[in-house]
Amino acid sequence: MGDAITARGGAGQISAAPSRPRRRDWIAFAVLLVVCGSALALELTILPTSLPRR
């Protein structure tokens, strides 16, 4: 099926080319980790969204 799509110039060409993460991908992944890690740290320490009821 992928060969048929590739032969017609469809989306199969995107998935047919083997590729690895490049520098830009690693930078985006690092930014994602920093943002999610910061949000988790804030949630667990300074700014909890679920305050205990009194």
What does the pLDDT look like over 31-51, one tens digit per residue? 999 999 999 999 999 988 887
Residue 6 contacts residue 12 (beta carbons within 8 Å): yes
Pairwise CA distance, residues 50 & 40, whole Å: 13
Chain centre to alpha carbon of residue 26: 10
pTM of this structure: 0.60
Pairwise CA distance, residues 16 & 50, whole Å: 47
Domain ranges of the chain: 20-49
Residue 2 contacts residue 15 (beta carbons within 8 Å): yes
Residue that has been written with the tokens 């009194």 in this structure: 54
pLDDT at 35: 98
12-39 average pLDDT score: 87
